[in-house]
């Protein structure tokens, strides 16, 4: 089993509140039933952060210990909705508190969907009552369906560590260029954690995983990653940050694999760099090039577009000598010392995964970024869908 | 008449050397026949600058006064070609010098096309002989055709100033995100200029025009803008920088109008900013959002995508209060004080031109950027074309 209820101490559900015209599931609720509940959160750095982000960030900063529940809806992002949007987020938390008989300050709120439209509060409030009555220890799968927007499939995960477990769910297929977090994600664990340890571990895990995922260069107003710990395993975990990072990496990979219209999931590794920060910026810069991404859509190992994008990274940020740069496409070298090398027709393009390595010849540091190709289907989804 | 031979003191031609398999024109030559020849140049800041850029920059820095000729080829960019590429650029200039009976140091070299493939020097050298014999005072039109790659049509211009004239040609339809210059462009004038005045005027004109054009966020390795002055008008010009800026603005507009696959030319104006530099960065950031560009392709006034992109610009770079931001699409306000406003169905989308205004409510400065939408045709061109 995978998902948020795959570890002890959690109940969840996903229901159709009627917020989405299609009648699909659109409201998820996660409840931490553990005796030592703790939460942590990482949020978007977008200056137009949505009302649920502003609300959850504030509530979490005042009481991560004892945090019990997360309510998530798809269909409306409650972003750019002004004072009324904030009131709606507060009313949502209050309704969950009443329905679950807990303090509203023990409830976090996440929304995703169309920017600029108000939450349909009548449907939200009646949906919360239905959801509260539907909570179960098998509800993780339904919850993972309820948070999707343009995703083709739900993303869930389970990780068995030494003496504790981690489960999780995430949504996101477009507008994936997190800066501090990505889209909506709830990770649960039965590890016994204090709030500070939980928050630090989540920040490290996000920096290494979701923050190195860039689908289309567009950062959302609603990105939120929540960690809920139930403490049901009864003991403090060993190697928790590494286990959490691995869990988040698996979810990040699933987000990339389902990116809007993508035919290829692309890992861009910048190696032999002088320092990791510079390598990461170089990898992100390459990952945002529409010309690199369309070349991969066309199964064309076009290293010229890669080095020309690399050439836009300032020397002060990422020092290297252009005449020492090499490029490998799926393990086949196509550029050596800044010029053509080998036979580009030898590059295999038969699997979804594409591995791109750019060797700078400037040191021993490296960094990788996950991205995807840019296809006709992406244009179709985003020219026709109002989001 | 428009183009590089539309002003006194210039000859040009465009011929088919056989470098392009299609048999189209691929080699252009421009000769300054004036008595007081002077040149200026602005080049790409890409660290993988192509051999012709390295060569022309060096030659120009040693002798802008007396510079007589520019040779331009399409089909091969002579970029990422190492030492041999540089030798080929030198040999090209030398061949032009011999054919025109001038010093090779009076010749600038520009190339555009595929990155990483060597110049076909046999065709280049025989082509130069043909071209030298074809030079004429009516050759500007042919020259403007010979420099095209994915462009649908040539871009030429003529500007009548007070006592002097300016003509020009440019190519470029993709990989248009100049940082210091754009693609290939030759501007001619009969104004009497010294080298320093010419260089300063060109730098100002580029900063205000080509550097505010961003088609697909991708900066080329070969961007070059050359100004050639013949001095044939016999006198120092008045208002030259303004006239040159207007000329370059007309060419920049033509580049945007012919951008790869574009159905809309989009002007993004960020107004009511605290300072111009911040407004320019905000406008460029919005212009690089694939979600904004696909929305415009779908004729959708999706202001949510605009403010969410604006929200990624750091406050230190561009100060504003999100709750005071407004957005207008083709003159119709769709967002006020950071929230929905008016009826987005009132936004007209019936012309190619789209005007987007983002009012920050933070001051009186402003800046504009030209871009275009992101369409199926862009994917088609760039997934199938090896460039």
- pLDDT digit string, tens, across residues A93-138: 999 999 999 999 999 999 988 888 899 999 999 999 999 999 999 9
B215 is in an annotated binding site: no
The confidence score (pLDDT) of residue B385 equals 57
Q: Does A78 touch chain B (CB under 8 A)?
A: no
The confidence score (pLDDT) of residue B386 equals 52
Per-window interface: A 305-344 vs B, CB < 8 A: 305, 307-313, 315, 322-323, 335, 337-340
Whole-complex ipTM: 0.76
Q: Does B375 touch chain A (CB under 8 A)?
A: yes
Q: Which two tokens stand for residue B226?
A: 């050359």
The confidence score (pLDDT) of residue A385 equals 57
Chain A residue with minimum CA distance to B301: A386
Contact by Cβ (8 Å): B327, B351: no
- Which positions in chain B touch A307 (Cβ < 8 Å)? 48, 80, 115, 221
Least Cα distance to B85 among A301, A323, A305 occurs for A323
Q: How confident is the model at residue A177 (pLDDT cuts 50, 70, 90)?
A: low
The closest CB to that of B386, out of A218, A302, A310, belongs to: A302
CA distance B22 to chain A (A): 21
Least Cα distance to B282 among B300, B296, B265, B269 occurs for B269
Q: How many Å apart are CA B259 and CA B378, to the nearest integer?
A: 9
Q: Does A114 touch chain B (CB under 8 A)?
A: yes
Contact by Cβ (8 Å): A301, A344: yes
Mutation target among A78, A291, A309, A335 for the B interface, most CBs of B within 10 A:
A291
The closest CB to that of A290, out of B79, B217, B291, belongs to: B217
pTM for this entry: 0.77
CA distance B234 to chain A (A): 42
CB contact under 8 Å between B315 and A374, yes or no, is no
User: What residues of A are designated binding site?
Assistant: 149, 171, 182, 260, 382, 387
DSSP assignment of B150-178 equals S-SS-EEEEEE-SS-EEEEEEE-SSSB--
CA distance A41 to chain B (A): 20
Residue A214: pLDDT above 80? Answer: no
Contacts of A158 (CB under 8 A, 6+ apart): A1, A2, A3, A6, A7, A165, A166, A167, A168
Q: How many Å apart are CA A108 and CA A125, to the nearest integer?
A: 15
Q: Which two tokens stand for residue A208?
A: 């290494």
Range with the poorest average pLDDT among A27-41, A212-226, A312-326, B62-76: A212-226
CB contact under 8 Å between B308 and A220, yes or no, is yes
Question: For residue B162, with 0-12 CB atoms within 10 Å meaning exposed, 13-18 middle and 19 or more buried, which class applies?
Answer: exposed
Q: How many Å apart are CA A157 and CA A4, to the nearest integer?
A: 8
Residue A149: pLDDT above 90? Answer: no
Tell me the average pLDDT of chain A: 89
- Pairing relationship of beta strands B184-189 and B224-229 according to DSSP bridges: parallel
The confidence score (pLDDT) of residue B221 equals 74
- Which positions in chain A touch B288 (Cβ < 8 Å)? 217
CB contact under 8 Å between A382 and B294, yes or no, is yes
- Sheet holding A107-114: strands in order across? A10-15, A27-32, A69-76, A107-114
CB contact under 8 Å between B218 and A297, yes or no, is no
The closest CB to that of A298, out of B313, B340, B384, belongs to: B384
Q: Does A47 touch chain B (CB under 8 A)?
A: yes
Q: How does DSSP classify residue B136?
A: B
- Which positions in chain B touch A297 (Cβ < 8 Å)? 379, 383
CB contact under 8 Å between B291 and A79, yes or no, is no
Reported as half-sphere exposure (CB side, CA atoms, 13 A), residue B342 has a value of 19
Per-window interface: B 225-284 vs A, CB < 8 A: none
Residue A332: pLDDT above 90? Answer: yes
Active-site residue set of B: 182
Contacts of B159 (CB under 8 A, 6+ apart): B165, B166, B167, B243, B246, B247, B250
Q: Does A298 touch chain B (CB under 8 A)?
A: yes
Chain A residue with minimum CA distance to B295: A383
Contact by Cβ (8 Å): A266, A301: no
The confidence score (pLDDT) of residue B173 equals 65
CB contact under 8 Å between A290 and B294, yes or no, is no
Q: Which of A182, A224, A371, A375 is catalytic?
A: A182
The confidence score (pLDDT) of residue A180 equals 36
DSSP assignment of B72-120 equals EEEEE---S-HHHHHHHHHHHHHHHHHHHTS-GGGEEEEEEEETTS---
- Which positions in chain A touch B217 (Cβ < 8 Å)? 288-290
CA distance A199 to chain B (A): 24
Q: How many Å apart are CA B211 and CA B43, to the nearest integer?
A: 11
pLDDT along chain B (387 residues), means of 10: 92 94 92 92 82 92 91 89 93 97 95 87 97 96 90 88 89 57 75 92 87 73 83 90 91 82 92 95 90 90 88 89 93 91 90 95 93 87 67
CA distance A223 to chain B (A): 12
Q: Does B86 touch chain A (CB under 8 A)?
A: no
Least Cα distance to A377 among A215, A243, A254, A269 occurs for A215
Residue A323: pLDDT above 70? Answer: yes
Q: Does A376 touch chain B (CB under 8 A)?
A: yes
User: What are the φ and ψ backbone dihedral angles of A86, each rounded to 5 degrees?
Assistant: -65, -40
The closest CB to that of B311, out of A46, A310, A340, belongs to: A46
Per-window interface: B 168-197 vs A, CB < 8 A: 174-175, 179
DSSP assignment of A155-186 equals EEEEEE-SS-EEEEEEE-SSSB--SS--SEEE
User: What residues of A are designated binding site for substrate?
Assistant: 149, 171, 182, 260, 382, 387
Q: How many Å apart are CA B150 and CA B380, to the nearest integer?
A: 12
Reported as half-sphere exposure (CB side, CA atoms, 13 A), residue A103 has a value of 7
pLDDT digits (tens, 9 = 90+) for A361-384: 999 999 998 888 998 888 888 887
Q: How does DSSP classify residue B191?
A: S
CA distance A307 to chain B (A): 7
The distance in angstroms from the start CA to the end CA of chain A is 32
- Pairing relationship of beta strands A184-189 and A224-229 according to DSSP bridges: parallel
CA distance A216 to chain B (A): 7
Q: Which two tokens stand for residue B383?
A: 């997934």
Hey, which residues does B156 pair with through a beta bridge? Answer: B169
CB neighbour burial string for B70-89, b if at least 16 within 10 angstroms, e if fewer: bbbbbbbbbbbbeeebbebb
Contact by Cβ (8 Å): A43, A53: yes
3-state class (DSSP) for residue A73: strand
Task: Show the DSSP H helices in A160-258 as ranges.
Answer: 195-208, 240-257
Hey, which residues does B213 pair with through a beta bridge? Answer: B370
Q: How many Å apart are CA B350 and CA A18, to the nearest integer?
A: 35
* B70 vs A308 pLDDT, higher one: B70
Chain B residue with minimum CA distance to A296: B383
Q: How many Å apart are CA A259 and CA A252, to the nearest integer?
A: 11
- Which positions in chain B touch A116 (Cβ < 8 Å)? 303-304, 335, 339-340
CB contact under 8 Å between B46 and A300, yes or no, is no
Q: How many Å apart are CA A2 and CA A168, to the nearest integer?
A: 7
Q: Does B66 touch chain A (CB under 8 A)?
A: no
Contact by Cβ (8 Å): B177, A290: no
Q: How many Å apart are CA B96 and CA B108, to the nearest integer?
A: 10
CB pairs under 8 A between A and B: 195
**E strand or H helix at A380:** helix A376-384
The closest CB to that of A175, out of B114, B291, B378, belongs to: B291
Residues of chain A above pLDDT 70, percent: 96
Q: Does A378 touch chain B (CB under 8 A)?
A: yes
Q: Does B304 touch chain A (CB under 8 A)?
A: yes
Residue A257: pLDDT above 70? Answer: yes
Whether A44 is catalytic is no
């Amino acid at each position: 089993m995978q998902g948020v209820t795959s570890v002890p101490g959690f109940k969840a559900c996903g229901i159709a509140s009627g917020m989405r015209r299609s009648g699909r599931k659109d409201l998820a609720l996660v409840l931490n039933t553990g005796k030592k509940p703790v939460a942590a959160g990482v949020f978007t750095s977008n200056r137009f952060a949505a009302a649920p982000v502003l609300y959850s960030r504030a509530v979490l900063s005042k009481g991560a210990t004892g945090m019990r529940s997360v309510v998530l809806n798809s269909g409306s992002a409650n972003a750019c909705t002004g004072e009324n949007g904030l009131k709606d987020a507060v009313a949502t938390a209050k309704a969950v508190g009443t329905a679950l008989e807990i303090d509203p300050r023990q409830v976090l709120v996440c929304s995703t969907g169309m920017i600029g439209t108000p939450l349909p509060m009548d449907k939200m409030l009646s949906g919360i009552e239905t959801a509260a009555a539907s909570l179960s220890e098998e509800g993780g799968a339904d919850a993972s369906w309820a948070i999707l927007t343009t995703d083709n499939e739900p993303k869930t995960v389970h990780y068995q560590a030494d003496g504790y477990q981690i489960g999780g769910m995430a949504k996101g297929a477009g507008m994936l260029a997190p800066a501090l977090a990505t889209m909506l994600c709830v990770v649960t664990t039965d590890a016994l954690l204090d709030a500070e340890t939980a928050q630090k571990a989540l920040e490290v895990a996000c920096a290494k995983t979701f923050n190195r995922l860039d689908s289309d260069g567009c950062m959302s107003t609603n990105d939120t990653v929540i960690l809920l710990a139930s403490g049901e395993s009864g003991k403090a975990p060993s190697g928790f940050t590494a286990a959490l990072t691995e869990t988040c990496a698996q979810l990040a990979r699933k987000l990339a694999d389902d990116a809007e219209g993508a035919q290829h999931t692309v890992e861009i590794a910048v190696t032999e760099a002088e320092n990791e920060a510079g390598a990461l910026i170089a990898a992100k810069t390459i990952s945002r090039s529409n010309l690199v991404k369309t070349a991969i859509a066309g199964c064309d190992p076009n290293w010229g577009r890669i080095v020309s994008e690399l050439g836009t990274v300032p020397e002060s940020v990422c020092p290297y000598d252009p005449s020492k740069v090499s490029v490998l496409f799926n393990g086949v070298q196509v550029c050596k010392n800044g010029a053509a090398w080998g036979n580009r027709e030898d590059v295999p393009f038969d699997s979804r995964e594409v591995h791109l390595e750019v060797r700078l010849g400037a040191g021993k540091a490296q960094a990788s970024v996950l991205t995807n190709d840019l296809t006709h289907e992406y244009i179709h989804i985003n020219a026709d869908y109002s989001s």
